[in-house]
Structure 1
Amino acid sequence: MSFQKLDDLGRRLEALEHALAILGADEATHMAVGGGDKRAEAMSNLAGMYHAQATAPEIRDWIEAAKASELTPDQALAVAEFERSYVNATCLPTEFVERRTATTMRSEQLWRDLRAKGDWDSFLPALEGVVALAREEAQLRADALGLAPYDALMDQFDPGNRTADIDGVFADLKSFLKGFVPEALAVQEERRAKTPRKDLNGPYPIEKQRELGLAAMRAVGFDFTHGSLAVSHHPFCGGVPTDVRMTTRYRTDQFLPSLMGVLHETGHALYEQGLPKEWSHWPLGKARGMGLHESQSLFVEMQLSRSPEFWEFMLPLVHQHLGEDAIPGWDIADILNEVNHVERGYIRVDADEVTYPLHVILRYELEQELIAGTLEASQIPEAWDAKMTEYLGISTINNPKDGPMQDVHWPAGSFGYFPSYTLGAMIAAQQWAAMERALPNATDMVRQGDFSAINQWRADNIWREASRLSTPDLITKATGEPLNADHFKAHLKRRYGRI
């Protein structure tokens, strides 16, 4: 009876999640300009209803009674996830949540205005307030979860991740990349001497780009009976598993940014569409954290879509949808020149897969110090510059706009999120290595545009597991070993190094 109450609660919460997700996706894509105020009011009320139902005091009694009753193995796991969700939802006092919301909203609004001006001094007081709240939140969560403060923040994004495990993996990867980036750049110059970069021959009409994107989505396995593609200012994958709302944006002078963005978001969508439908109303049936989610999008974008085998299949589709004269004289080497370009740069979101992890590791190291109190917000520019200079050989000391002001995460109070990006890239490479052992002809399948067996492997080993296991345990079960930087390093060497 107690489990039935939790089951019923899950269905009520799922209905509210569904409404909020679809309203949010619609707001970003189709809502009329004048609809914003009422949409915000509607979503605020729904969010309040969700929070009230998810944190009701009687839920604790239902959980304890369910734990003492006879349960199937899946029900027992479901109760454990209900409990994890409940503890995380109730460990922050209402007064703190209200204070944090007001502070981070003000900080983010200031950031939007001051980032463009690179005005660090004016932004600093707001950031100091956010950092103080982040430290407070970390301690509140640590006390409730029995974890170290920064681990408690990471656990919100990737349950089971701990600095004790990640520090060594990231240190190994950082050491490798500091030596490998110069090698990759040198190899790139040698290849460019033989195959110089060519100019894209736009314009590329948006409708033709859209048809190309839809064809790519269909090819890699997107289910259009449970999802769609629209346009937004920033690409995202939202909605719900039965109605995934994917978006992209277009430039008429280039087609690759939109196409690669579509493929990345399709990776997210495939994960959502592959989750077990019978558990969709339980926390157990949700995707297992941001690192796993990012691994699924990067698997499609990096392991598949930036490979020569993928372009053997994809290049004819480009000509079919954009026209034979879209990229005259281009072959696969020219495409790879473009999609696998490596460059030392300031901006994380624009970085290639070789340099990107160094941007993330820098932030991971700094935010641990911020939460621990060994680094103050006022010291960030110098600390940031020192790591950028050491890791990538470029200085940001007089450029806060392209340095510590570039990301929204810290202004918005999202500490513990950054590791997920690089963990996702590493997990994706490790999944590919494990999948190749199970499917030795996987590269031939990619060359032929047949992704069915590849997706079946991911469904069996990742998607259908949903949240049955912690992030580290799921990696180990799916790939046969704990997270191992060697697979990502081997992937980068094959693609960008001297073989």
Structure 2
Amino acid sequence: MSFAELDHLCRRLEALDHAQAMLGVDEAVNMPEGGGEKRADAMSVIASMAHELASAPHIADWIAKAEGEELDGAQRAAVAEFKRSYINRTCLSSEFVGRQVNARLRCEQLWRSLRAKNDWTDFLPSFENIVSLAREEAERRAEVLKLSPYDAMVEQFDPGSRSAEIGRVFADLKTFLKGFIPEALEAQARRRAKHPVKAFDGPFAIEKQKALGLELMKAVGFDFNHGRLDISHHPFCGGVPTDVRMTTRYRTDEFLSSLMGILHETGHGLYEQNLPHDLSHWPSMKARGMAAHESQSLFQEMQLSRRPEFWEFALPKAREILGLDGVTVADMLAHVHRVERGFIRVDADEATYPLHVILRFEIEQELITGKLAAKDVPELWNVKMQDYLGLSTAGNYKDGPMQDVHWPSGAFGYFPSYTLGAMMAAQQWAAVARALPDAPAQIARGDFTGINQWRKEHIWSKASMLSTPEIMRQATGEALNAKYFETHLKERYLD
């Protein structure tokens, strides 16, 4: 039975994916700098092995025969998703995959050391190599998938999304935000004139910040029997569903950037921990792309953790652990609801954040098509940054094109997922509010059981058995609609 052959193969691939994920986490969290070269070699070999195993020619016969077998609905979904992933895998040779993984790891390691030095010159040759490999990958995928090169890259992160539709949505959103942000800043100034923002007295010891983060992670439902929190250069959620590894980075002069980052990554972690476990080796039981993943992290961070009700529950814990004497919920909201034009995407508020994403979306399209040379990225970045956010990054590479890990690690086509996810999260919250009218009161009590049950039933349990648009339609009653995100921003940030 060919389905049984595919099932056995999926178990072997899951084991290799597990090994790669844990080696990647260790490389980012614990590995000494001197271990980078051999780690890159080891991971590239394992990636090549996994690719060879998953893209062998005889698998096409297994898939074709399995499609003709008597299967139940879940098995048919597994075959369909495996077929999609198989076609995407066979776009690339194992030799290319190994070469690309090695180059990505070396570039990312170089980025870690050179970003702090603002050293674009020494970073550029490695980055040019990554861009060249990304263009090669895009061309190879485009030929097989019958897509444009950039769409072929987007397909790897958010199956079914296309740059034309993304571009249309982003163009409208960019127009809205360029008008909305000045309004939000004016409304914020009026609020602050009446109620000045209260500064939080630091320093805040890292161990206390971590203690608060762990306390809130546990409260919102993270399972520490199947996960942990560490420190890395760039916050991420990695590992595997049974062993989720989250990271953050700390500053002692303030605590909110780290805490909100922890809550954001916890959203990713909850999604992974609540995917169907019994058949986790099937591709249909894995997370449904990065837009869906970002919708879960942004639901946790923006729709839940920045609500007044959340801080009614969380502030007493913050007072106890960090010593925030005299701080009120209103004081906290003044910080977590701030709107401010800034250089750093991961520190941006939810109103300005999409403009950071749109900037990258526009630039990486030109990089992949070859319209833009890698060496010219800083100049175009500066032009767009001034247009969208009124800030100059001329000569400031570490706060410009060197600020993110994504491009050094070869993740072109990933960025649109962030803002698509924000839109999805706002629409999901509207559906939760209809289904659970007392959801705000539940949050204020620190009870996330009902909300998490809704997410598990409508999002987490669906895994990749349905397309992202179909998951949204079934969960919310309609296709993705940007009006929910725009309404959310207006209600939160305008008087």
> By the TM > 0.5 criterion, same fold?
yes
Q: Which residue of 2 aligns with 1:429?
A: 426
Deviations 1:249-297 (A, max 9, x none): 4444433333222211211111011101122011111101111111111
Q: Which moved more, 1:220-229 or 1:97-106?
A: 97-106
Partner SS, residue 402 of structure 1: coil
Q: Which residue of 1 aligns with 2:218?
A: 218
Q: Which residue of 2 aligns with 1:410?
A: 407
Contact map agreement 1:161 1:471 (CA 8 A) in 2: no
- CA–CA distance in 2 between the matches of 1:30 and 1:413? 22
Deviation at 1:443, TM superposition (A): 1.4
Q: What TM-score does the superposition give when structure 2 sets the normalisation length?
A: 0.92
Partner SS, residue 230 of structure 1: strand
Q: Please, which runs of 5 or more residues in structure 1 have no aligned partner?
A: none
Are 2:269 and 1:269 equivalent residues in the alignment? yes
Contact map agreement 1:3 1:63 (CA 8 A) in 2: yes
Q: Which residue of 2 aligns with 1:452?
A: 449
Deviation at 1:175, TM superposition (A): 0.7
How many positions carry a matched residue from both structures? 495
- CA–CA distance in 2 between the matches of 1:250 and 1:353? 20
Q: Which residue of 2 aligns with 1:188?
A: 188
- CA–CA distance in 2 between the matches of 1:92 and 1:41? 19
- CA–CA distance in 2 between the matches of 1:38 and 1:366? 33
- CA–CA distance in 2 between the matches of 1:28 and 1:99? 20
Q: Which moved more, 1:39-48 or 1:391-400?
A: 39-48
- CA–CA distance in 1 between the matches of 2:425 and 2:161? 16
Partner SS, residue 277 of structure 1: coil
Are 2:463 and 1:477 equivalent residues in the alignment? no
Aligned residue among 480, 488, 493 for 1:491: 488
Q: Which moved more, 1:137-146 or 1:44-53?
A: 44-53
Written as runs of structure 1 = structure 2, the 5 A alignment for 1:91-130 is 91-101=91-101, 104=104, 107-108=107-108, 111-112=111-112, 115-118=115-118, 120=120, 123-124=123-124, 126-130=126-130
- Alpha carbon RMSD of aligned pairs, Å? 2.6
Aligned residue among 350, 360, 364 for 1:363: 360
Q: Which residue of 2 aligns with 1:87?
A: 87
Q: Which residue of 1 aligns with 2:280?
A: 280
Are 2:364 and 1:354 equivalent residues in the alignment? no
Q: Which moved more, 1:98-107 or 1:215-224?
A: 98-107
Contact map agreement 2:44 2:102 (CA 8 A) in 1: no
- CA–CA distance in 1 between the matches of 2:432 and 2:306? 17
Contact map agreement 1:200 1:327 (CA 8 A) in 2: yes
Q: Which residue of 1 aligns with 2:228?
A: 228
Partner SS, residue 409 of structure 1: coil
Change (3 A) 1:245 1:195: same
Q: Please, which runs of 5 or more residues in structure 2 have no aligned partner?
A: none
Q: Which residue of 2 aligns with 1:166?
A: 166
Amino acid at match of 1:138: A
Partner SS, residue 169 of structure 1: helix
Q: Which moved more, 1:439-448 or 1:450-459?
A: 439-448
Contact map agreement 2:40 2:106 (CA 8 A) in 1: no
- CA–CA distance in 2 between the matches of 1:188 and 1:261? 23
Change (3 A) 1:494 1:31: same
Written as runs of structure 1 = structure 2, the 5 A alignment for 1:288-437 is 288-322=288-322, 326-437=323-434
Contact map agreement 2:48 2:95 (CA 8 A) in 1: no
Change (3 A) 1:160 1:236: same
Partner SS, residue 278 of structure 2: helix
Contact map agreement 1:169 1:484 (CA 8 A) in 2: no
Amino acid at match of 1:453: G
Contact map agreement 1:161 1:472 (CA 8 A) in 2: no
Q: Which moved more, 1:15-24 or 1:25-34?
A: 25-34
Amino acid at match of 1:279: L
Q: Which residue of 2 aligns with 1:248?
A: 248
Amino acid at match of 1:395: S
Contact map agreement 1:195 1:333 (CA 8 A) in 2: no
- CA–CA distance in 1 between the matches of 2:163 and 2:46? 36
Contact map agreement 2:37 2:106 (CA 8 A) in 1: no
Contact map agreement 2:47 2:97 (CA 8 A) in 1: no
Q: Which residue of 2 aligns with 1:68?
A: 68
Contact map agreement 2:6 2:62 (CA 8 A) in 1: yes
Are 2:142 and 1:145 equivalent residues in the alignment? no
Deviation at 1:427, TM superposition (A): 1.1
Deviation at 1:209, TM superposition (A): 3.2
Change (3 A) 1:99 1:203: closer
- CA–CA distance in 2 between the matches of 1:377 and 1:22? 31
Deviation at 1:137, TM superposition (A): 1.9
- CA–CA distance in 2 between the matches of 1:469 and 1:69? 21
Deviation at 1:141, TM superposition (A): 0.7
Amino acid at match of 1:315: L
Deviation at 1:26, TM superposition (A): 4.1
Contact map agreement 1:172 1:485 (CA 8 A) in 2: no
Partner SS, residue 411 of structure 2: coil
Deviations 1:69-107 (A, max 9, x none): 111111111011111111211211345445544654565
- CA–CA distance in 2 between the matches of 1:231 and 1:401? 20
Deviation at 1:195, TM superposition (A): 2.2
Q: What TM-score does the superposition give when structure 1 sets the normalisation length?
A: 0.91
Change (3 A) 1:19 1:398: closer
